[in-house]
Amino acid sequence: MKSILFKATDRGTADYGWLKPNYYFSFAQYHDNTKVHFGLLRVLNDDFIAGGGAFSTHPHDNMEIVTIPFTGALKHKDSTGGEGVIQAGDIQIMSAGTGVQHSEANASATEPVTLFQIWVFPKERNIKPRYGQKTFDVTERANKWQTVVSPIDADNALWINQDARFSLTNLQAGAALDYSNSFKNNGVFLVVINGSVEVNGQPLNKRDALGISETEHFTVKASEDAELLAIEIPMN
Query: Based on the domain organization, do 20 and 127 belong to the same domain?
Result: yes
Q: What are phi and psi of 16, to 5 degrees?
A: -105, 15
The pTM for the full model equals: 0.97
Task: Tell me if residue 211 falls in helix, strand or coil.
Answer: strand
Q: Per-residue pLDDT averaged across 144-163, rounded?
A: 97
Considering the domain architecture, whether residues 106 and 173 belong to the same structural domain is answered as no
- The burial class, CB within 10 Å (0-12 / 13-18 / 19+), for 192 is buried
Nearby residues of 161 by Cβ (< 8 Å), 6 or more positions away: 64, 95, 97, 122, 123, 124, 127, 151
Q: Is the CB of residue 138 less than 8 Å from the CB of residue 171?
A: no
Q: Convert the pLDDT of each residue in 38-65 to its tens digit.
A: 999 999 999 999 999 999 999 999 999 9
Total tally of structural domains belonging to the chain: 2
Q: Which of 228, 232, 230 is nearest to 142 (CA)?
A: 228
State the CB neighbour count (10 A cutoff) for residue 44: 25
Is residue 31 within 8 Å of 43, Cβ to Cβ?
no
pLDDT of 82? 85
Give the pLDDT mean for 83-97. 95
Instruction: Please check whether residues 48 and 111 belong to one and the same domain.
Output: yes
DSSP 1: -
- Residue range of the domain that includes 205: 138-233
Q: What is the mean pLDDT of residues 199-213?
A: 97
Phi-psi region of 70 (alpha: psi -120 to 50; beta: other; left: phi over 0): alpha
Dist. CA 45–CA 97, nearest whole Å = 21
Identify whether residues 50 and 92 lie together within a single domain. yes
Query: Is residue 22 domain-shared with residue 127, that is, in the same domain?
Result: yes
Q: Are residues 33 and 111 in the same domain?
A: yes
CA 72-76-82 angle, to 5 degrees, is 140
Q: Is residue 15 assigned to a domain?
A: yes
| Same-domain check for residues 130 and 148 | no
The answer to whether 18 touches 50, Cβ cutoff 8 Å, is yes
User: What's the chain's average pLDDT?
Assistant: 97
